[in-house]
Amino acid sequence: MRALAFILFTLPLFAEKERLPGGKVLPHEKYIHAVSEKDSPVEQVYIKSKDGVYIAAAIRKPKGAGPFPVLLHFHGAPGGRGMEKLVTWVRGDTGGPMWERFLQEGYVVAVADYRHPTPMMASIAEAKSPTYVDDGVAVVEWLREQKYVDPARITAYGVSLGGNLVAHLAGRTKLHAAVLGAPAVIEFLGVEGWNRDSKTVPVNEAIARKNIAALQCPVLLLVGTKDNLIAVDEPFHDLAVAMGKRVTMLIYENGYHDFVMGPQGHAGRDEPLLDATLDALERTVAFVKKPAAQ
Protein backbone atom coordinates (compact mmCIF):
# COMPACT_ATOMS: atom_id res chain seq x y z
CA MET A 1 0.00 0.00 0.00
CA ARG A 2 2.77 2.41 0.94
CA ALA A 3 4.60 2.06 -2.36
CA LEU A 4 1.39 2.45 -4.35
CA ALA A 5 0.36 5.63 -2.59
CA PHE A 6 3.72 7.29 -2.93
CA ILE A 7 3.88 6.40 -6.62
CA LEU A 8 0.43 7.91 -7.17
CA PHE A 9 1.41 11.34 -5.90
CA THR A 10 4.84 12.79 -5.40
CA LEU A 11 3.99 16.31 -4.24
CA PRO A 12 5.85 17.56 -1.16
CA LEU A 13 4.43 16.90 2.30
CA PHE A 14 2.98 19.43 4.68
CA ALA A 15 2.84 22.64 2.70
CA GLU A 16 0.37 25.10 4.18
CA LYS A 17 -2.35 24.21 1.65
CA GLU A 18 -2.06 21.77 -1.25
CA ARG A 19 -4.41 20.68 -4.01
CA LEU A 20 -3.90 17.08 -5.04
CA PRO A 21 -5.23 14.88 -7.83
CA GLY A 22 -7.41 11.84 -7.27
CA GLY A 23 -10.59 10.01 -8.15
CA LYS A 24 -9.49 6.62 -9.48
CA VAL A 25 -11.48 3.78 -7.91
CA LEU A 26 -9.44 0.87 -6.56
CA PRO A 27 -10.40 -2.58 -5.21
CA HIS A 28 -10.26 -2.55 -1.43
CA GLU A 29 -9.97 -6.26 -0.67
CA LYS A 30 -6.17 -6.48 -0.53
CA TYR A 31 -5.92 -3.57 1.92
CA ILE A 32 -8.14 -5.00 4.68
CA HIS A 33 -8.01 -7.94 7.10
CA ALA A 34 -4.26 -7.53 6.93
CA VAL A 35 -3.74 -8.25 10.64
CA SER A 36 -4.96 -11.52 12.13
CA GLU A 37 -7.29 -11.27 15.09
CA LYS A 38 -5.20 -14.01 16.67
CA ASP A 39 -2.33 -11.54 16.76
CA SER A 40 -4.47 -8.52 17.58
CA PRO A 41 -7.89 -9.40 19.02
CA VAL A 42 -10.55 -6.73 19.41
CA GLU A 43 -10.97 -5.52 22.97
CA GLN A 44 -14.40 -4.10 23.79
CA VAL A 45 -14.43 -1.54 26.59
CA TYR A 46 -16.92 0.91 28.09
CA ILE A 47 -15.44 4.14 29.42
CA LYS A 48 -17.18 6.29 32.00
CA SER A 49 -17.76 9.86 30.85
CA LYS A 50 -18.07 13.01 32.95
CA ASP A 51 -21.69 12.45 33.99
CA GLY A 52 -21.56 8.67 34.38
CA VAL A 53 -22.60 7.80 30.81
CA TYR A 54 -20.56 4.88 29.46
CA ILE A 55 -18.89 5.30 26.06
CA ALA A 56 -18.18 2.27 23.88
CA ALA A 57 -14.74 1.81 22.35
CA ALA A 58 -13.24 -1.01 20.27
CA ILE A 59 -9.47 -1.39 20.62
CA ARG A 60 -6.75 -3.37 18.87
CA LYS A 61 -3.12 -3.48 20.01
CA PRO A 62 0.17 -4.52 18.39
CA LYS A 63 2.04 -7.48 19.81
CA GLY A 64 4.08 -6.74 22.90
CA ALA A 65 3.73 -4.81 26.12
CA GLY A 66 4.27 -1.32 24.77
CA PRO A 67 4.03 1.47 25.56
CA PHE A 68 2.63 2.19 22.08
CA PRO A 69 1.46 5.36 20.35
CA VAL A 70 -2.29 5.59 19.84
CA LEU A 71 -4.56 6.47 16.94
CA LEU A 72 -7.94 7.35 18.46
CA HIS A 73 -10.74 7.59 15.90
CA PHE A 74 -14.11 9.33 16.20
CA HIS A 75 -16.64 8.53 13.46
CA GLY A 76 -19.13 10.89 11.84
CA ALA A 77 -22.73 11.61 12.84
CA PRO A 78 -24.79 10.42 14.47
CA GLY A 79 -23.38 9.49 17.84
CA GLY A 80 -24.43 6.32 19.57
CA ARG A 81 -23.40 3.86 16.85
CA GLY A 82 -22.87 1.10 19.40
CA MET A 83 -20.17 -1.49 19.96
CA GLU A 84 -21.06 -3.78 17.06
CA LYS A 85 -20.44 -1.06 14.49
CA LEU A 86 -17.20 0.04 16.14
CA VAL A 87 -15.90 -3.53 16.00
CA THR A 88 -16.57 -3.83 12.27
CA TRP A 89 -14.60 -0.65 11.65
CA VAL A 90 -11.56 -1.52 13.75
CA ARG A 91 -11.36 -4.93 12.01
CA GLY A 92 -11.60 -3.33 8.56
CA ASP A 93 -14.75 -5.33 7.76
CA THR A 94 -16.34 -2.52 5.77
CA GLY A 95 -13.36 -2.00 3.46
CA GLY A 96 -11.74 1.00 5.11
CA PRO A 97 -7.95 0.48 5.31
CA MET A 98 -7.00 3.13 7.87
CA TRP A 99 -7.43 1.25 11.13
CA GLU A 100 -5.33 -1.77 10.20
CA ARG A 101 -2.75 0.44 8.49
CA PHE A 102 -1.99 2.15 11.78
CA LEU A 103 -2.01 -1.18 13.59
CA GLN A 104 0.69 -2.36 11.19
CA GLU A 105 2.69 0.78 12.05
CA GLY A 106 2.77 -0.26 15.70
CA TYR A 107 -0.10 1.90 16.92
CA VAL A 108 -2.86 1.00 19.32
CA VAL A 109 -6.03 1.72 17.35
CA ALA A 110 -9.14 2.77 19.26
CA VAL A 111 -12.49 3.52 17.63
CA ALA A 112 -14.70 5.38 20.10
CA ASP A 113 -18.36 6.27 20.17
CA TYR A 114 -19.94 9.40 21.65
CA ARG A 115 -23.41 10.51 22.63
CA HIS A 116 -25.73 11.91 20.00
CA PRO A 117 -25.61 15.73 20.10
CA THR A 118 -29.00 17.33 20.76
CA PRO A 119 -29.53 19.48 18.83
CA MET A 120 -26.98 18.32 16.30
CA MET A 121 -24.87 21.48 16.25
CA ALA A 122 -25.63 22.95 19.67
CA SER A 123 -22.96 25.31 20.95
CA ILE A 124 -20.40 23.46 23.05
CA ALA A 125 -19.43 26.70 24.80
CA GLU A 126 -23.00 27.34 25.94
CA ALA A 127 -23.77 23.77 26.97
CA LYS A 128 -25.27 23.46 30.45
CA SER A 129 -24.52 19.76 30.76
CA PRO A 130 -21.83 17.35 29.49
CA THR A 131 -21.55 17.00 25.71
CA TYR A 132 -20.06 14.62 23.20
CA VAL A 133 -16.76 16.53 23.52
CA ASP A 134 -16.65 15.52 27.18
CA ASP A 135 -17.02 11.92 25.99
CA GLY A 136 -13.93 12.40 23.82
CA VAL A 137 -11.96 13.85 26.74
CA ALA A 138 -12.96 10.86 28.90
CA VAL A 139 -11.67 8.40 26.29
CA VAL A 140 -8.33 10.22 26.00
CA GLU A 141 -7.92 10.31 29.78
CA TRP A 142 -8.74 6.59 30.04
CA LEU A 143 -6.19 5.73 27.36
CA ARG A 144 -3.49 7.74 29.14
CA GLU A 145 -3.92 5.51 32.19
CA GLN A 146 -3.32 2.25 30.30
CA LYS A 147 0.13 0.72 30.81
CA TYR A 148 0.40 -0.24 27.13
CA VAL A 149 -0.10 3.39 25.99
CA ASP A 150 2.54 6.07 25.51
CA PRO A 151 0.56 9.00 27.01
CA ALA A 152 2.61 11.59 25.10
CA ARG A 153 1.79 10.09 21.69
CA ILE A 154 -1.99 10.01 21.45
CA THR A 155 -3.32 11.28 18.12
CA ALA A 156 -7.04 11.90 17.63
CA TYR A 157 -8.61 11.51 14.17
CA GLY A 158 -12.15 12.76 13.63
CA VAL A 159 -14.34 12.55 10.54
CA SER A 160 -17.32 14.81 9.80
CA LEU A 161 -19.05 15.53 13.14
CA GLY A 162 -16.22 13.55 14.76
CA GLY A 163 -13.92 16.18 13.27
CA ASN A 164 -15.77 18.92 15.14
CA LEU A 165 -15.34 16.83 18.30
CA VAL A 166 -11.58 16.42 17.70
CA ALA A 167 -11.14 20.13 16.94
CA HIS A 168 -12.53 20.88 20.40
CA LEU A 169 -10.54 18.00 21.89
CA ALA A 170 -7.30 19.54 20.60
CA GLY A 171 -8.12 22.61 22.67
CA ARG A 172 -9.25 20.74 25.78
CA THR A 173 -6.40 18.27 26.31
CA LYS A 174 -2.82 17.72 25.21
CA LEU A 175 -2.59 15.57 22.07
CA HIS A 176 0.41 14.61 19.98
CA ALA A 177 -1.51 15.60 16.84
CA ALA A 178 -5.03 15.96 15.47
CA VAL A 179 -6.31 14.81 12.09
CA LEU A 180 -9.56 16.21 10.73
CA GLY A 181 -11.12 14.32 7.82
CA ALA A 182 -13.76 16.45 6.11
CA PRO A 183 -14.61 17.94 9.49
CA ALA A 184 -18.03 19.47 10.07
CA VAL A 185 -16.52 22.36 12.05
CA ILE A 186 -19.75 24.31 11.75
CA GLU A 187 -20.35 24.67 15.49
CA PHE A 188 -16.61 25.15 16.13
CA LEU A 189 -16.64 28.25 13.90
CA GLY A 190 -19.97 29.52 15.27
CA VAL A 191 -21.56 29.24 11.83
CA GLU A 192 -25.30 29.94 11.69
CA GLY A 193 -27.65 29.77 8.74
CA TRP A 194 -25.38 27.65 6.55
CA ASN A 195 -26.49 24.61 4.56
CA ARG A 196 -24.81 22.35 2.02
CA ASP A 197 -25.89 24.59 -0.86
CA SER A 198 -24.41 27.74 0.67
CA LYS A 199 -21.62 29.38 -1.31
CA THR A 200 -20.44 31.52 1.57
CA VAL A 201 -19.94 30.65 5.21
CA PRO A 202 -21.08 33.16 7.87
CA VAL A 203 -18.32 32.50 10.42
CA ASN A 204 -18.77 34.02 13.86
CA GLU A 205 -15.25 35.34 14.14
CA ALA A 206 -15.33 35.85 17.91
CA ILE A 207 -16.38 32.23 18.53
CA ALA A 208 -14.03 30.89 15.86
CA ARG A 209 -11.03 32.80 17.22
CA LYS A 210 -11.72 31.69 20.78
CA ASN A 211 -11.89 28.03 19.77
CA ILE A 212 -8.92 28.16 17.41
CA ALA A 213 -6.79 29.97 20.00
CA ALA A 214 -7.16 26.94 22.28
CA LEU A 215 -5.60 24.49 19.78
CA GLN A 216 -2.52 22.91 21.35
CA CYS A 217 -1.13 20.54 18.70
CA PRO A 218 -0.41 20.30 14.96
CA VAL A 219 -3.49 19.69 12.83
CA LEU A 220 -3.80 17.91 9.48
CA LEU A 221 -6.97 18.82 7.58
CA LEU A 222 -8.14 16.57 4.71
CA VAL A 223 -11.08 17.30 2.39
CA GLY A 224 -12.31 16.44 -1.11
CA THR A 225 -13.59 18.78 -3.80
CA LYS A 226 -16.89 16.86 -4.05
CA ASP A 227 -17.63 17.53 -0.39
CA ASN A 228 -19.62 20.69 0.34
CA LEU A 229 -17.93 20.92 3.73
CA ILE A 230 -14.89 22.30 1.92
CA ALA A 231 -16.71 25.65 2.17
CA VAL A 232 -16.46 25.36 5.97
CA ASP A 233 -13.04 23.74 6.17
CA GLU A 234 -11.15 26.36 4.17
CA PRO A 235 -12.18 29.25 6.46
CA PHE A 236 -11.14 27.13 9.46
CA HIS A 237 -7.72 26.53 7.91
CA ASP A 238 -7.19 30.10 6.77
CA LEU A 239 -8.10 31.66 10.10
CA ALA A 240 -6.06 29.12 12.06
CA VAL A 241 -2.95 29.78 9.95
CA ALA A 242 -3.47 33.53 10.27
CA MET A 243 -3.52 33.01 14.04
CA GLY A 244 -0.21 31.17 13.93
CA LYS A 245 -1.54 27.62 14.40
CA ARG A 246 0.15 24.63 12.78
CA VAL A 247 -2.60 23.55 10.38
CA THR A 248 -1.86 21.83 7.07
CA MET A 249 -4.69 21.41 4.55
CA LEU A 250 -4.75 18.84 1.74
CA ILE A 251 -7.53 19.16 -0.84
CA TYR A 252 -8.13 16.12 -3.07
CA GLU A 253 -9.85 16.36 -6.43
CA ASN A 254 -12.99 14.21 -6.70
CA GLY A 255 -12.91 13.25 -3.04
CA TYR A 256 -16.39 12.53 -1.67
CA HIS A 257 -17.39 13.33 1.90
CA ASP A 258 -15.21 11.27 4.29
CA PHE A 259 -13.37 9.66 1.35
CA VAL A 260 -10.36 9.56 3.65
CA MET A 261 -11.82 6.52 5.43
CA GLY A 262 -12.76 4.57 2.30
CA PRO A 263 -15.78 2.23 2.51
CA GLN A 264 -17.48 2.42 5.90
CA GLY A 265 -20.56 0.33 5.23
CA HIS A 266 -23.08 3.18 5.29
CA ALA A 267 -26.36 1.95 3.85
CA GLY A 268 -27.27 3.46 0.50
CA ARG A 269 -24.02 5.38 0.14
CA ASP A 270 -21.44 4.83 -2.60
CA GLU A 271 -18.09 4.70 -0.79
CA PRO A 272 -15.37 3.41 -3.11
CA LEU A 273 -11.74 3.14 -2.15
CA LEU A 274 -9.94 5.87 -4.08
CA ASP A 275 -6.32 6.43 -4.97
CA ALA A 276 -6.74 9.64 -3.00
CA THR A 277 -7.84 7.61 0.04
CA LEU A 278 -4.53 5.75 0.04
CA ASP A 279 -2.48 8.88 -0.54
CA ALA A 280 -4.25 10.69 2.29
CA LEU A 281 -3.63 7.68 4.52
CA GLU A 282 0.11 7.60 3.83
CA ARG A 283 0.43 11.33 4.39
CA THR A 284 -1.49 10.94 7.63
CA VAL A 285 0.87 8.20 8.82
CA ALA A 286 3.86 10.43 8.04
CA PHE A 287 2.23 13.39 9.77
CA VAL A 288 1.46 11.64 13.04
CA LYS A 289 4.88 9.96 13.21
CA LYS A 290 6.69 13.32 13.19
CA PRO A 291 8.29 14.15 16.56
CA ALA A 292 6.21 16.49 18.68
CA ALA A 293 8.77 19.29 18.40
CA GLN A 294 8.48 19.46 14.60
Q: What is the pLDDT of residue 254?
A: 96
State the CATH architecture for 2-288.
Answer: 3-Layer(aba) Sandwich (3.40)
Q: What is the pLDDT of residue 266?
A: 86
Percent of residues, the chain, with pLDDT higher than 70? 93
Q: What is the mean pLDDT of residues 215-225?
A: 97
Residue 121 has pLDDT above 80, yes or no: no
Q: What is the pLDDT of residue 14?
A: 42
Residue 238 has pLDDT above 60, yes or no: yes
Strand partners of residue 30: none
DSSP string covering 97-122, please? -HHHHHHHTT-EEEEE--PPPSSTT-
Alpha helices in 145-188 (DSSP H): 161-172
Domain parsing of the chain, residue ranges: 2-288
Residue 294 has pLDDT above 60, yes or no: no
Q: What is the mean pLDDT of residues 175-184?
A: 97
Q: What is the mean pLDDT of residues 156-184?
A: 97
Residue 151 has pLDDT above 50, yes or no: yes
Q: What is the pLDDT of residue 120?
A: 67
Q: What is the pLDDT of residue 293?
A: 55
User: Residue 45 and residue 145: Cα distance in Å, rounded?
Assistant: 14
Q: What is the pLDDT of residue 1?
A: 44
User: Residue 280 and residue 260: Cα distance in Å, rounded?
Assistant: 6
- Entry pTM: 0.92
pLDDT digits (tens, 9 = 90+) for 50-72: 999 999 999 999 999 989 999 99
Residue 98 has pLDDT above 90, yes or no: yes
Backbone angles phi, psi at 117, to 5 degrees: -65, 135
pLDDT digits (tens, 9 = 90+) for 123-139: 888 888 899 999 999 99
Q: Which residue has the higher pLDDT, 125 or 103?
A: 103
Which element (helix H / strand E) includes 59? strand 54-60
Q: Is the dihedral of CA 151, 153, 159, 164 positive or negative?
A: positive
pLDDT digits (tens, 9 = 90+) for 189-216: 999 877 777 767 889 999 999 999 999 9
Sort 164 into a burial class: Cβ within 10 Å, 0-12 / 13-18 / 19+: buried
